Structure formats: structure tokens, C-alpha cells
Amino acid sequence: MPTGVHIRDARRQLFDAAERVLLRDGPSALTSRSVTTEADCAKGVLHRHFADFDEFLAELVQERITRVDEQAAALRAAAGTGSVAGHLATALTELLDPIAVAMVSLVFFRDEVRTRLRRAGPAHGIPVLAEARGMLATYLAEERSLGRIAADADAENVALSLIGAGHLLFAGRRPGDAPSPAEVDQLVATVIADVLQRRLL
């Protein structure tokens, strides 16, 4: 890597490389050497920008969590418009893309990364999935306040059901073998059927 490259450029190059290794070879293949080899840069580049490899991985996952926070703002802004089920299906598909699912595996695989992320975020739940659940729960609570789902709907538990079932649907697939939109729509319809039906009673 040429000298004088801006730190953000170096970080982005390393993060992109780590995501490629993670998707292709899984969390056990992520090492500082595999990442810098994939990024086509010297190993010292990573250690100039991060205290250790676990810090690098924690920041990689934290970047994904920041993206969830950005998605949450957009989803909440959509409350009261369109279809509740449609918004949830779109959100699940975006939340559980192959990189996010792979990062959940990474968090399971590396205890120190999970510990560091929990210091910075929710004390309970699996990082990435916990933030995704919070995103859906906030949206559902907003739709409940607007009368578009049942007034007694438990937004937290409905969100938990969506994330749990969604993760099972998306996980364990080969790259490029994502669930079809119809599968995601059916999952969402099944999970939220009760709160939508009771609203009409």
C-alpha cells in the first residue's frame, strides 16, 4: 500500500477485505494475515490503525450496527404509510443480508469480540441481532400508536419472533441462495397475522 493513504481509505479497504473473507471462508478463516492478504497490503497497516485484531473485528461489526441504526430511522419514518407487512419484509431482507448473517456467526465464534461489543451496546442479546430487534420493535410500536396493528400487540416479542424466524430463514445458505421474496412475505405474514387480525375485530 502506498504511504500517505488516508486512514479512512485504509480502514475501508481492510473492512471490505474482511467481509470478503468472512463470506467466502467463514469466521474461522478471519486472521490479520488473511485480511491483509485479501486487501493486498502489508500486515502492519492493520496494526497501525487498530490496537489488536479483536478491536478490528469489533469495529467491523460496529460499522454494521451503525448501518442498522440508519435503517431504523428510515423504517420509523415509513410508519403510517404503505403496508406494515411490506415494510417488515423489506426490513428483514435488508437486515439479514449475507454479510450481516456472517457477522452474527463471527460474534458467536469470537468471545472477545462479543464482549467488546456488549460493553459499547446492549448488555443483553446478540450484537447485530439485538439492534435489529430494537429497530423492528420501535417501528411496530409506532404502527401500534397509529392504530395499524392491535393496541395490545407486544412489539418487543413480535420483533423477537421476526428476527428469530428471519435469521433461521436466511442463515445456512450458500452465497447467492437468498430466500425468495415470497418466502420472506410468508414468514412475515405468519408472524404478524394475529396482531393484524385482532385490529380488525
CATH number at residue 25: 1.10.10.60
Q: Considering the domain boundaries, does residue 67 fall inside one?
A: yes
Q: Considering the domain boundaries, does residue 93 fall inside one?
A: yes
Q: Is the pLDDT score of 148 beyond 60? A: yes
CA 64 to chain centre: 6
Same domain, 81 and 169: yes
Q: Considering the domain boundaries, does residue 58 fall inside one?
A: no
Phi and psi (nearest 5°) for 9?
-65, -45
Closest listed residue to residue 62, CA positions, set 134, 131, 3: 131
Write the CB contacts of 57 (distance below 8 Å, at least 6 apart in sequence).
Answer: 18, 30, 106, 110, 113
Q: Which of 2-11, 121-130, 136-145 has the lowest mean pLDDT?
A: 2-11
* CATH number for the domain that contains residue 117: 1.10.357
Q: Considering the domain boundaries, does residue 54 fall inside one?
A: no
Same domain, 115 and 172: yes
Q: What pLDDT sits at residue 176?
A: 66
Percentage of the chain modeled with pLDDT above 90 = 62
Q: What pLDDT sits at residue 37?
A: 93
Domain that holds residue 35: 1-49
Same domain, 174 and 94: yes
pTM of the model: 0.86
Amino acid at 55: E
Same domain, 69 and 157: yes
Phi and psi (nearest 5°) for 176?
90, -5
Same domain, 91 and 144: yes
Same domain, 20 and 96: no
Q: Is the pLDDT score of 56 beyond 60? A: yes
Per DSSP, the three-state class of 165 is helix
Same domain, 12 and 107: no
185 neighbors 85 (Cβ within 8 angstroms): yes
- Burial class for 169, CB neighbours closer than 10 Å (0-12, 13-18, 19+): middle
Same domain, 104 and 5: no
Q: Considering the domain boundaries, does residue 56 fall inside one?
A: no
Q: What pLDDT sits at residue 74?
A: 94
Domain count for the chain:
2
Instruction: Tell me the mean pLDDT in the region 152-159.
Output: 96
Q: Is the pLDDT score of 72 beyond 50? A: yes
32 neighbors 47 (Cβ within 8 angstroms): yes
Q: Considering the domain boundaries, does residue 187 fall inside one?
A: yes
Q: Considering the domain boundaries, does residue 121 fall inside one?
A: yes
Same domain, 115 and 196: yes
Same domain, 27 and 68: no
Distance CA 2, CA 101 (A): 33
